[in-house]
Structure 1
Amino acid sequence: MSNIIVVGCGRVGSQLANMLSDNGSNVCVIDKNAEAFANLGRNFNGSTVQGIGFDEDTLVKAGIEDCDVLAAVTQSDTANLMVTEVATHLYGVPHVIARLYNSDHERAYMQLGIDYVCGTSLVAEEVFGKTVSGHGAHLDTFGEYEVLRFSLNLKHLDRKTIRVSEMERVHDIRIVAFERADGSASSIPTGDSVLYHGDTVLACVRHELIDQFSVYIQG
């Protein structure tokens, strides 16, 4: 069972928390306003902590020391950014996701390497998909496609290399570019290009195929 912290209990946060709880996760919701927890409804099976989402005492009460995933989904980009920085750099949470409320801040999120969801609709559903699939390195969303930048994991295949054509054929995706793990080379691939375990890969993946493709993504 995953231990997940959701910071922000507005419309998006409460919907996300209920989706994760119904999926079997151990969920704790943080909000500075105790009245916001009413958004969770009577059937919510998780826990709540009143406090500031980037306050260390609040995060410890919420269980950040054993946290697998943290989602910062308040309506403040500044608050979400501070939460992600604390969770990532002070507590080493393996997967941190932030809601990007103002698209003007998208470049800053990308430069900081923050996994994020940008938009005003279906935000909870997209964060939920990221959480349960465990993938990160989100760069952008184009309709039914998601652009990901990730370190290639081939351990599940018990091999060190794979051809681009094989990955694209099996998973119906498109590999856009890659960079060698040691930084020695980068390239726009052809079908015959060989990728190595640990290479950095830029790929376009359909939303509905992310779950099956996530085995290639190193956390």
Structure 2
Amino acid sequence: MHIVIMGCGRVGSTLARALERRGHTVAVIDMQPDAFRRLGPDFTGTTVKGVGFDREVLTEARIGEASAFAAVSSGDNSNILAARVVRETFGVENVVARIYDPGRAEVYERLGIPTVATVRWTADQVIRRLLPAGSEPQWRDPSGSVRLMEVHVDSAWVGRTISQLEQASGSRIPFLARLGTGHIPKPTSVFQDGDLVYAAVQDSRLAEVEAIFGAPPKED
């Protein structure tokens, strides 16, 4: 599909290259022509000089053919304005805006504009690494009763099957990350050193599940 990105900084250029590698066509908008150098010599998409909320600039970027739009420039106001223009004027439903101010991000989320709050996202990532037992959910259901957690698993569990981990903890392990790649494990899959385990946990049992995985398995 065709995707338009406003902002060719580190985030925008990385996003553009990643999307192009996945077979999508990409157009990148930035006010500074020099910024397009970040895309590298292998980038085959479209580059457009201008602001991402200008209709003529968006038209040059083929917004009319776009299935998605990302506003990831360095300005909150520009990002949210561009996202609204793209959605309301050009009818692109799949839009996202990067916002530095978490307070603003919450307001725009309530208005139906999906946002990524840079400060909040960075803080969450740091917390997950400072507190390996995990207190920040990757996902929470709307009722707040179930969450998907990246949980710390004691190395003594290495060699046990996913089924054994699930039975011991009373949780479900829908996927794990191994060497940077996601895997959907089978019950007979074996937990290996370095695996990141993601567990679906009842909110009321979070501390209990963390304690089980954070300690060596009990002897059978």
Q: Is TM-score (shorter-chain normalized) higher than 0.5?
A: yes
Deviation at 1:175? 5.1
**2:54 aligned with 1:61:** no
> Are the equivalent residues in 2 in contact too, given 1:175–1:204 (CA < 8 A)?
no
Query: Which runs of no fewer than 5 residues in structure 2 stay unpaired?
Result: 123-134, 151-173, 176-183, 185-220
Does the CA contact (< 8 Å) of 1:5 and 1:71 recur in 2? Answer: yes
TM-score, with normalisation over the residues of structure 2?
0.57
> Following the alignment from structure 2 to structure 1, what is the Cα–Cα distance between the partners of residues 137 and 34?
36
3-state DSSP of counterpart to 2:95: strand
Is the contact made by 1:17 and 1:27 (CA closer than 8 Å) also made in structure 2?
yes
User: Any idea what the Cα deviations from partners look like across 1:188-216, whole Å, max 9, x if unmatched?
Assistant: 9xxxxxxxxxxxxxx8567997xx9xxxx
Kept after mapping to 2: 8 A contact 1:176/1:204: no
Note the residue ranges of structure 1 that are not aligned, 5 or more in a row: 124-141, 148-173, 178-187, 189-202, 213-219
**Could you say which structure has the greater relative contact order, defined with CA pairs below 8 angstroms and 6 or more residues apart?**
1
Q: Which secondary structure does the structure 1 equivalent of 2:91 belong to?
A: coil
**2:112, 2:46 → 1: CA distance?**
30
The 3-state SS of whatever aligns with 2:105 is helix
- Answer with 1 or 2: which has the greater Rg: 2
Residues 38-62 of structure 1: per-residue CA shift (max 9 Å, x gap): 1111121211000111000000000
Match of 1:31 in 2: 30
CA distance in 2, matches of 1:90, 1:205: 36
RMSD: 2.8
For residues 91-170 of structure 1, the aligned pairs below 5 Å read: 91-120=90-119, 143=136, 145-147=138-140
Identity, % of aligned pairs? 34
Matches within 5 A, 1:133-212: 143=136, 145-147=138-140, 174=141, 176=143
Who is 2:78 aligned against?
A: 79
1:14-53 map, 5 Å: 14-53=13-52
* CA apart distance, 1:104: 2.8
